[in-house]
A and B are shown apart, each in its own frame.
Chain A
């Protein structure tokens, strides 16, 4: 299994008290693969159901955010490769 990669960037370096701080996390793993399963049920008479598609991710990554000032970051979006977190300064 390959090692994941991650980047973290803030929208500024200095904030005033009360300012929103936005953290953008970029992450990836060569092993992470989206797959789509298409399922069709067929009975003994040969009747088939309509196909159903489900998606899954092989070896998904979990993302953790820790702040040594004790601020609790909130995730506001996540595309699977880019996650955005926010907190108030």
Chain B
């Protein structure tokens, strides 16, 4: 940490000194996600892409690096910071029921997922392993399987537990026939995710492993409820996602929304943690010139990181869903240009 020393001296030789320390942070890591957890390597060529988001369900028998996904390990070895969203949400396997499998000589049986999340009216509600199931130890086998695979992958990752708790809980949850409100679901998730982090840390993790919990970051009360100090003391990063979906949305406004809530509402432990923006994107319907909006992101981040509060250290463009780049080539070129610019470059 550099130190500046100021010394004053009078004619008689009397002196006094004062010091001030400061840190010059590394550049922000510009990152990416390609739809379908697809191999992004070709898109990353020629750009300053140093961060990546991936999604895995604990239900999947091939969590790390993922079935046929050896490129994930290769990117990690090449210095790309990996953010792996590890979800209780059930996908990645066609088997909706109980699972019995063996991990390192131990046979585990995990019951069928008993919770529904993302209960938006008029949609099919996804299933997930329930917070009660986690706390009862019924999902320990899933954690053991993922941990065993992770240990052999050879590169450390940030484990982001859940993708977006606010999206998962917005319309309440149901576990084993019992309904829970949004706030009740948040409280249950905090307990369950505390259990997961504690369980994994107790069993030994590869050096460099870090943790965060997932939030869309679109609801202030939910963000506050899911970031209590006791949980944050177990985590290494804050995290939220950023989307421009309306022509009035500016990069500065969108990137700072959850940040300002955090600064106002969270405790000192939470605010000591840097921020991963696991997803950011600009919707082409709102901004036909996606490249122009992308070009406004570097100065917005430089300004935000110059303010008091947690620093945003990774931003991964979500080339899928709302963030789908269309045309893709122009969008990826815009990302390359942005990531070559301060505070990325």
Q: Interface on A for B, CB 8 Å cutoff?
A: 1-10, 12-19, 21, 23, 25, 27, 29, 31-32, 59-69, 71, 73, 89
Contact = CB atoms under 8 A, between A and B. Distances in A.
A31 B22 CA distance: 32
Nearest to A18: B342
B10 A23 contact: no
Name which of B4, B6, B12 has the most chain A CB atoms within 10 A of its CB. Answer: B6
A16 B28 contact: yes
B24 to A, nearest CB: 5
Given A1-B12, A6-B17, A18 B343 contact: yes
Contacts of A62: 8-9
Q: What band does the interface of chain B fall in when counting residues whose beta carbon is under 8 Å from A? A: 20 to 34
Contact of A15 (B11, B20, B23): B23
Given A4-B15, A16-B24, 16 more contacts: A3-B14, A4-B8, A4-B10, A6-B7, A8-B5, A8-B19, A10-B20, A13-B21, A14-B23, A14-B311, A16-B27, A16-B305, A63-B6, A64-B6, A69-B3, A73-B4
12 contacts: A1-B12, A6-B8, A9-B20, A10-B20, A14-B25, A15-B23, A21-B22, A27-B8, A59-B10, A59-B11, A66-B4, A66-B5
Interface pairs A-B: 8 shortest CB-CB = A69-B2, A8-B18, A16-B343, A1-B12, A8-B6, A14-B23, A8-B20, A6-B8
Name which of B5, B10, B21 has the most chain A CB atoms within 10 A of its CB. Answer: B10
Interface of B: 2-12, 14-28, 302, 305-306, 308, 311, 342-343
A4 B9 contact: yes
Contacts of B9: 4, 61-62, 64
Contacts, number: 122
A17 B17 CA distance: 27
B6 A25 contact: yes
A10 B3 CA distance: 11
B212 to A, nearest CB: 20
B62 to A, nearest CB: 38
B342 A17 contact: yes
A52 B11 CA distance: 27
Nearest to B18: A8
Name which of A16, A59, A69 has the most chain B CB atoms within 10 A of its CB. Answer: A16
Contact of A1 (B14, B23, B24): B14
Contact of B10 (A17, A61, A68, A69): A61
A14 B343 CA distance: 13
Contacts of B10: 1, 4, 29, 31-32, 59-61
Nearest to B26: A17
Contacts of B311: 14
